[in-house]
Every structure is written in C-alpha cells, then in structure tokens.
Amino acid sequence: MSDSILQQILAHKVIEVARQRSKVKDDAIQRKATLAPPVRSFAAALRRHQRPTLIAEVKHASPSRGVLIEPFEPLAIATTYSQGGASAISVLTDQRYFQGSLKFLEGIRQQDAIGPDGHHPPLLRKDFIIDAYQVFEARAYGADAILLIMAALPDDQIKLLYDLAQQLGMDALVEVHDDDELQRALALDVAIIGVNNRNLHTFELSLDTTAQVFAKIPTGRNITLVSESGIFTAADVATVGRHGANAILVGEALIKSADMLAKTKELAGYAS
C-alpha cells in the first residue's frame, strides 16, 4: 500500500476508535444513541428545492490547507449557515487531521438553529467512519446522517455500516471519486452519492470530476447526487447543477469568506 494521506488517516483512525471504545464501552454508546434527539431527514433536506441545496461545513482545518479560521467558533458558524439558508450542516469530527470534535456536533444539535425556510438543518457527521462504534457515536451526539467513503473500505464493510445507519434512522452520504468507486456504490443500491472533487489519495482538486462521474450514472436511478469540494461561487453551483447535482457540500469557501452570511446566501440561492 502506498503511504497516501488517506491511508495515514485510516491507520490512525483504527487506533483512535480503539482508544475511544476503551473509555466509553459499546453498550454505553448504544444506550446514549437511543436517548438522542429524533432524527431529521437528511435526504429530504437535500431535495427541498429545485436548485442545488447547500450542505454547509463547519470546518476548522484540513491536511491540505491547514488552519482555515481563527478564532474558530463552531456554534456561531452553524447559526450563520442556518440563517443563510443552508439545507443541511456538515460537522467535521476528526480531531487529529481536521481539528474537529464530537462536542461540536453535540453543541450544534443542542443549539438547534432554524433556517429562513422554517426548517432545522439536519446534521451530517463528517469523519472517516470505519467501525460500527462510530455510527452509534454519530447518533448519540445528534447526527442525522454519516459520511461513508468508498475509497476507505471494502464493499462488505460499507454495506454493514450503511445498513446500521439506516437501522438507527440515519441517512448515509456515500462518497466516490471515480468510476470504479461509483460502480461499487451503485451495486450497493445506496440512496445518496457524493462526488468528491478532491482526490483523497493526493488531495488534488478538479471540479471536472463531478461531470465525469455523474455522467456514468444510469438514467432512471433515483439517487440524490451531491458535488463536494472545489465549489466557491454561484457560477460553480450552476455548473455542477447542470451536471445533475441535487446538492453541494461546501466548507472552505464559506469558512474563509470575508462575509460568511452573504456567502452562505449566495451558494444556497438566497442572495438578493
């Protein structure tokens, strides 16, 4: 195996999950999951408008860009996203590589901001999910959906985690980057597919990835399509919308904007 960034992250994630499991046992996290607030439909939120809906990301840092914002105030950021019309909110919970935290997810859910359309944006746990423990953990801390990365796991493990998420009432955003990963996801009959325009092995970025991958999806498949990464302007939103995107996932363009509220409104389609 090559020593890619993704493989480094996954190797550490195995250690991290084992460490967390030693602190909070499986039965305890499963009990906490049963006490979490009711699930809100992530899938329905992504289909709420005719235009591509916005999944706005609460993101402190990344391996490719370093720290994106200081001071980092996740609750205030999430409120701004809700006020700006984001249909859903993605919360980074990986600590080592993205400086995220489950506490951010929990705090944002407790804050429970409301958007201009009268809806509460559902929350996506954005992390490298490799173990059933993390799925229960996501629900326990208030997530309505989880991210599953085809590049990270074999099909049988993706299927196990996907099915568990559904059993807990959550949706799963299944992320692909190329045609091979797309075909694997299609074979698993998943409901939401995200195309990451950033290659997770090299972290190189190309918006063309959305067009290339979406073009391979058979006509008639009822799949919600999400374009992830590399979207910075309303023109970018229009471009991926023409390629079939029902939703976009945006982090850096919002976090680094001089006016986060205005940028959120622009990308969510609420700009005046």
Tokens linked to 210: 């959305």
Helix/strand/coil (H, E, C) string of 232-245? CCHHHHHHHHHCCC
Domains of the chain plus CATH, in order, are 5-37+49-268 (3.20.20.70)
Q: Are 122 and 41 in contact (CB under 8 A)?
A: yes
Q: Which residue has the tokens 């997810």?
A: 105
- CA 100, CA 93: separation in Å to the nearest integer? 4
- CA 261, CA 201: separation in Å to the nearest integer? 32
pTM of the model: 0.94
Whole-number pLDDT of residue 84: 96
| pLDDT tens track, the chain, 272 positions | 234 888 999 999 999 999 999 999 999 999 999 999 999 999 999 999 889 999 999 999 988 889 999 999 999 999 999 999 999 999 999 999 999 999 999 999 999 888 888 889 999 999 999 999 999 999 999 999 999 999 999 999 999 999 999 999 999 999 998 899 999 999 999 999 999 888 767 778 888 889 999 999 988 888 999 999 999 999 999 999 999 999 999 999 999 999 999 999 999 998 76
- CA 148, CA 66: separation in Å to the nearest integer? 23
